[in-house]
Amino acid sequence: MGMSIFSLTLEKINSMSRMEFVESLGGIFEHSPWVAERAFQQSPFRSVDQLHSTMLEIARTAEQSQIEALLRAHPDLATKLQVTPLSAAEQQGAGLDRLLPEEFILLNDLNKKYTDKFHFPFILAVRGKNKEDIMNAISKRVNRSLQEEWEQALDEIGTITKFRLRDLIMDGGTLL
């Protein structure tokens, strides 16, 4: 039913119906197809980067309750809660599926402390990072202010979604 992931090009995206567009890009922002729904109204896109910056702007300027829902839609790192296939692959790449028992306990404790304090899970673009990088990041960030973490979480989502879009769309080139 859906298009093959390997044949998505910017031209195809620009010629999609609203339904196809949301079906293809609705998962880029974790469990938040509303981002793609709103982005569709601004097509056609000249580049993958323009598509991404449009989607990110929509996410960042949504109502606070919607942004909160987006932040909360992300899985806790290293837990088995409703992980989308994209998140699972990203976490495995960082070695989070191979934590030692004591690392798992520490990460879980930090995660809990973080979530209790900020009311959304610790969000980190884990691609290219190892488990030490991740442990260091959460150890530092758990001590920050809500405002700092809100901004940081949105920055991380920006990085995660840019990776996902670039993986999904074959040509990163610009259309003339």
pLDDT tens, position by position, for the chain (176 residues)? 444 445 689 999 999 999 999 999 999 999 999 999 999 999 999 999 999 999 999 999 999 999 999 999 987 765 543 345 555 565 555 666 667 778 778 888 898 999 999 999 999 988 888 888 888 999 999 999 999 999 999 999 999 999 999 888 876 555 44
Catalytic, 74? Answer yes
Residue among 20, 61, 12 at smallest CA distance from 37: 20
**What residue segments make up the domains of the chain, in order of their start?**
5-168
Query: Class for domain 5-168, per CATH?
Result: mainly alpha
Q: How far is CA 125 from CA 29, 37, 65, 160, in A?
A: 13, 24, 22, 5
- Binning the chain into helix, strand and coil, the percentages to the nearest 5 are 60, 0, 40
